[in-house]
């Protein structure tokens, strides 16, 4: 069968171009847009990026989320803002800034943000869009409008530790059908006994390698969004606090310049699973999610309060990002190094102070007895 020759790519129909581009994932579509004018023009179609976002974040299929994305600039902008991860390469410089004060040097009013002009940020401006995958298969999608326990965002919310827990009490109930679960049918290895799992760690390995988390924060007011997660776990803890629990930590390092003395905080996203059934019980291995939470911690591992957290989250929406996971991991490791160094300095200072107090006491006692005798 004879095939008609194609003189140039421009002679192909735009429908064929569209059909080609709609089959691509996000990074490939972005690269294809740079190859020629035709691809560049067609790649601006919102329907293409809606399809990409739908495949990456199943939660974007919800009608309320579709309306939200349209209101903040569309799917193309949403993907460009949320697919790259937050990277903070300035963490290593903070320890050398002599103008910084440690939280111990601040008054309570200063630390809790009374000195900051609050810029009319409301908890209701924020939306959390969360998606969990296991071995590339979506297992959970949740959308949270506003921030829990921030009704009226009074002084209680502003001054108490900031925390978002996406799993409500109903979700944790054993009899609730909406609980997030994983089983052998999802790709988990069958576990015959917890003692064997402690030795070989097969379940732990599968979970660590297979879990992916995306936690997107959107600010409706300023129409910006960012992904606070690290996609893959940064670290975790097996068999804690009980033998049947597995804890995974995701997150990112956020800038807190002008907000906190450390000028950087860690956004910690915790995902915890508990083994519900194992093979020796006569049923398939089954796990249940018991925690999916977010909190912010400063360099001294202190929880950041609600007021400062809102300011930090707002700044995070316009920070630097990267598609390279190794850069994200590097910034988190650098943060841990600086944090450990600050802890060591604090311990040394406290040790010096203790030594000084002991010597002062000895001198005082000797002086007293010298004059007495």
Other Cβ atoms less than 10 A from the Cβ of 203: the count is 24
pLDDT in tens, 97-134: 444 444 444 444 444 444 444 556 888 899 999 999 99
Average pLDDT, the chain: 82
Q: What is the pLDDT of residue 4?
A: 47
The three-class DSSP label of residue 151 is helix
pLDDT at 44: 85
Predicted local distance difference test score (pLDDT) of residue 355: 84
- CA 187, CA 163: separation in Å to the nearest integer? 31
Mean pLDDT of 252-272: 89
Cα separation, 232 vs 299, in Å, equals: 23
Q: What is the pLDDT of residues 241-250, one digit of tens each?
A: 888 999 999 9
pTM across the whole model: 0.82
* pLDDT (0 to 100) of residue 179: 76
For 215-258, give the DSSP string. EEEEETTTTEEEE-S-BS-SEEEES-SSTTEEEEEEEEEEE-TT
Question: How many CB atoms neighbour CB 64 within 10 A?
Answer: 11
Give the tens place of pLDDT for each residue, 25-52: 888 888 888 888 888 888 888 999 999 9
In the structure, what pLDDT confidence band is assigned to residue 154 with cuts at 50, 70 and 90?
A: low
Give 84-132 as a 3 state SS string.
Answer: CEECCCCHHHHHHCCCCCCHHHCCHHHHCCCCCCCCCCCHHHEEEEEEE
Burial status of residue 124 (CB atoms within 10 A of its CB: 0-12, 13-18, 19 or more)? middle
Nearest to 265 by CA among 345, 332, 325, 329: 332
CB 275 within 8 Å of CB 194: yes
Q: Which residues 6+ apart lie within 8 Å of 11 measured at CB?
A: none
pLDDT digits (tens, 9 = 90+) for 11-24: 567 788 888 888 88
Please compute the mean of the pLDDT values over residues 161-182 and round it to a whole number.
68
CA dihedral 159, 160, 164, 170 (to 10 degrees): -130
d(CA 93, CA 331) in angstroms, rounded, equals 12
The CA–CA distances, whole Å, from 372 to 7, 38, 281, 363, 369 equal: 111, 99, 78, 14, 5
């Amino acid at each position: 069968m004879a095939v008609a020759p194609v003189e140039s790519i421009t002679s192909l129909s735009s429908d064929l171009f569209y059909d080609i581009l709609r089959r691509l994932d996000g990074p490939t579509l972005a690269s294809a847009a740079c190859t020629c004018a035709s691809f560049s023009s067609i790649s601006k179609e919102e329907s293409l990026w809606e399809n990409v976002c739908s495949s990456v974040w199943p939660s974007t299929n919800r009608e309320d989320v579709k309306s939200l994305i349209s209101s903040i600039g569309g799917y193309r902008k949403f993907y460009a803002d949320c697919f790259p991860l937050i990277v903070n390469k300035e963490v290593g410089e903070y320890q050398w800034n002599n103008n910084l004060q440690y939280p111990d040097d601040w008054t309570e009013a200063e630390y809790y943000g009374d000195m900051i002009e609050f810029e009319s940020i409301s908890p209701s401006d924020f939306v959390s869009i969360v998606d969990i995958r296991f071995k590339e298969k979506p297992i959970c999608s949740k959308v949270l409008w506003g921030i829990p326990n921030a009704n009226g965002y009074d002084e209680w919310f502003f001054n108490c530790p900031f925390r978002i827990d996406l799993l409500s009490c109903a979700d944790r109930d054993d009899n609730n059908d909406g609980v997030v679960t994983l089983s052998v049918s999802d790709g988990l290895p069958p576990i015959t006994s917890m003692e064997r799992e402690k030795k070989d760690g097969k379940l732990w390995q599968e979970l660590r390698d297979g879990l992916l988390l995306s936690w997107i924060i959107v600010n409706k007011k300023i129409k910006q969004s960012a992904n606070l997660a690290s996609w893959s776990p940064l670290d975790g803890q097996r068999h804690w606090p009980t033998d049947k629990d597995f804890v995974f930590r995701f997150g990112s390092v956020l800038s807190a310049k002008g907000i906190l003395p450390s000028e950087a905080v860690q956004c910690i996203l915790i995902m915890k699973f508990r083994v519900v059934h194992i093979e020796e019980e006569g049923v398939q291995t089954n796990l249940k999610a018991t925690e999916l939470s977010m909190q912010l911690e400063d360099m001294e591992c202190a929880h950041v309060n609600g007021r400062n957290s809102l300011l930090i989250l707002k700044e995070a929406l316009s920070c630097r990002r990267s598609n390279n996971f190794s850069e994200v991991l590097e910034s988190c490791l650098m943060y841990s190094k600086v944090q450990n160094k600050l802890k060591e300095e604090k311990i040394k200072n406290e040790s010096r102070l203790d030594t000084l107090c002991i010597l002062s006491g000895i001198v005082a006692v000797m002086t007293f007895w010298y004059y007495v005798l």
